């Protein structure tokens, strides 16, 4: 009888403690650490040319229409910064980068799916506080492949980093301005044009004098 009472007491105690035990971590009853990750997407603003003849870039979050405007066919650089902001190691961190319209991928890490217009790759393991940086070289479409009815086009490049229990995403904007072609110029008034205008004014003046004399008669 005592054995039955002890068994019943232990079962009740287990059922009471187990919900709390599942929320604990380690022998000191601390909560289990959670995964967290941060991604920062940036676009390169051309900042000049290096001694080797290469273009240098200042990376910013976005380029608005009032900032640098790229020309059709120009190279545009993007950068992704991924950081493990949790206190534990993150394994199999996946990164996806969605290529915006009017831009083509040229160089960078991962595999490019042309149909989905997405670059994806496994960035591997991130220790606590570790940050990794990835660069992507892309190119604007040429003048003939951009919309004919739009002179200024702005697009956003979307990127996402994720694990099984954490994710983060960010975007970076850039703009391209089409070249204006077939513009009709207003004729400039040269000496010949001034002489023709003078003859016309004299002709009108003579006509006015004749009309005045005709009315007097």
Rounded to whole angstroms, how far apart are CA atoms 17 and 158? 46
Is residue 3's pLDDT more than 50?
no
Confirm if 94 and 161 have CB atoms less than 8 A apart: yes
* pLDDT tens-place string over residues 82-136: 999 999 999 999 999 999 999 999 999 999 999 999 999 999 999 999 999 999 9
Is residue 21's pLDDT more than 50?
no
Is residue 42's pLDDT more than 60?
yes
Does the predicted model carry a pTM greater than 0.85?
A: no
Instruction: For domain 37-177, give its CATH number from 3.40.50.720, 2.120.10.30, 3.40.50.1580, 2.60.40.740.
Output: 2.60.40.740
Position 25 confidence tier, pLDDT thresholds 50, 70, 90: low
The CA-atom distances, in angstroms, between 217 and each of 205, 210, 211 are 19, 11, 10
The CA-atom distances, in angstroms, between 158 and each of 31, 45, 169 are 34, 18, 7
Position 52 confidence tier, pLDDT thresholds 50, 70, 90: confident
pLDDT at 214: 42
**What is the pLDDT averaged over residues 13-18?**
48
User: Pick the residue with more confidence: 197 or 176?
Assistant: 176
Query: What is the domain partition of the chain in residue ranges?
Result: 37-177
pLDDT at 213: 43
């Amino acid at each position: 009888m005592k054995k039955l009472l002890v068994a019943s007491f232990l079962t009740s105690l287990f059922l009471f403690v187990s919900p709390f035990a599942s929320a604990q971590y380690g022998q000191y009853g601390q909560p289990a650490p959670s995964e967290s990750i941060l991604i920062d997407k940036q676009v390169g603003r051309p900042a000049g040319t290096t001694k080797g003849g290469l273009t240098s870039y200042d990376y910013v979050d976005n380029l608005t229409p009032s900032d640098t405007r790229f020309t059709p066919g120009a190279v545009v650089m993007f950068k992704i910064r991924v950081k493990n902001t949790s206190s534990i190691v993150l394994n199999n961190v996946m990164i996806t980068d969605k290529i915006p319209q009017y831009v083509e991928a040229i160089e960078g890490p991962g595999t490019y799916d042309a149909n989905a217009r997405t670059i994806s790759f496994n960035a591997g393991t991130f220790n606590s506080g570790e940050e990794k940086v990835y660069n992507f070289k892309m190119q604007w479409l040429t003048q003939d492949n951009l919309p004919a009815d739009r002179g200024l086009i702005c697009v956003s490049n979307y990127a996402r980093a994720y694990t099984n229990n954490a994710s983060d995403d960010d975007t970076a904007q850039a703009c391209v301005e089409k070249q204006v072609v077939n513009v009709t110029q207003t004729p400039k008034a040269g000496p010949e044009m001034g002489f023709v205008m003078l003859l016309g004014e004299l002709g009108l003046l003579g006509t006015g004098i004749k009309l005045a004399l005709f009315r007097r008669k």
